[in-house]
Amino acid sequence: MDIFTCGVVPVVVLHDAQNAVKVANALLKGGINTMEITFRTAVAKEAIQKVAQEVPEIIVGAGTVINVEQMQAAKVANAKFVVSPGIDEELLKEAKRLELPIIPGVVSPSEIILGLKYDIKVFKFFPAEAYGGLKTLKALCGPFPQIRFLPTGGISQSNAEEYFQNQKIAAVGGSWMVSTDMIAQGQYDLITEKSKDVVELFKRTRAQQCLEGK
């Protein structure tokens, strides 16, 4: 089991750490085994810590990690991986030192070459839709057949299928199944329902590809 097994890595923004475990359980009930808690709010470290302790079935990671201090906080909180919207040599070095798997964000060949120096195998492609979506991704795959992508930004239930059809996509990232509004309104059943929908779509799409021998 890894963070790509379900086809989706939820990008979670929490304003209250008390909601972290409820969100984690709602995702889990929907068949998702991972979540990325973003450092966009001050409660990220505490929220990661709670999920790591109380919901061990979820592989919890830290998202929107943009400096070394956040990465160190993520490690202390027991995050199992970190995601950054960009790629930065200092972050790559620190991730290696802390033995923390990192998914850095890229949109260009030069950035991918930097990541390869640090043995990165899966790159976040962000912001995916704004940077040309699948068309750009396919073009980037040409010179780099050894890597896979986690496209994020502008992906939802309505366009996830086309991404799933591409074998270079490890999983998609996104917040549509766990929006801040849903969390604020305590709509945990809705989070579970939307999680189920995307996991089902992923499984169906990949099964179809197997049948077609792709």
- Residue 175 within binding range of ligand 3PG, rule CB under 6 A: yes
- Residue 202 within binding range of ligand 3PG, rule CB under 6 A: no
Instruction: Give the interface segment with ligand 3PG, choosing from 17-25, 137-145, 152-160, 193-201 (CB under 6 A).
Output: 152-160
Angle between helix 20-29 and helix 44-54 axes, rounded to 10 deg: 50
- Residue 152 within binding range of ligand 3PG, rule CB under 6 A: yes
Residue in 31, 101, 104, 173 binding ligand 3PG, rule: CB under 6 A: 173
| Minimum gap (Å) between residue 165 Cβ and ligand 3PG | 19
Measured from each CB, the residue nearest to ligand 3PG is 174
The Cα–Cα gap between 33 and 29 comes to 9
The Cα–Cα gap between 73 and 127 comes to 25
Instruction: Give the interface segment with ligand 3PG, choosing from 45-53, 67-75, 146-154, 182-190 (CB under 6 A).
Output: 146-154
Instruction: Give the interface segment with ligand 3PG, choosing from 22-30, 96-104, 148-156, 162-170 (CB under 6 A).
Output: 148-156
Is 85 or 132 the residue whose CB approaches ligand 3PG more closely? 85
- Residue 125 within binding range of ligand 3PG, rule CB under 6 A: no
- Residue 30 within binding range of ligand 3PG, rule CB under 6 A: no
- Residue 92 within binding range of ligand 3PG, rule CB under 6 A: no
Residue in 154, 187, 197, 205 binding ligand 3PG, rule: CB under 6 A: 154
- Could you list the residues that contact ligand 3PG (CB under 6 A)? 11, 64, 85, 126, 152-155, 173-176
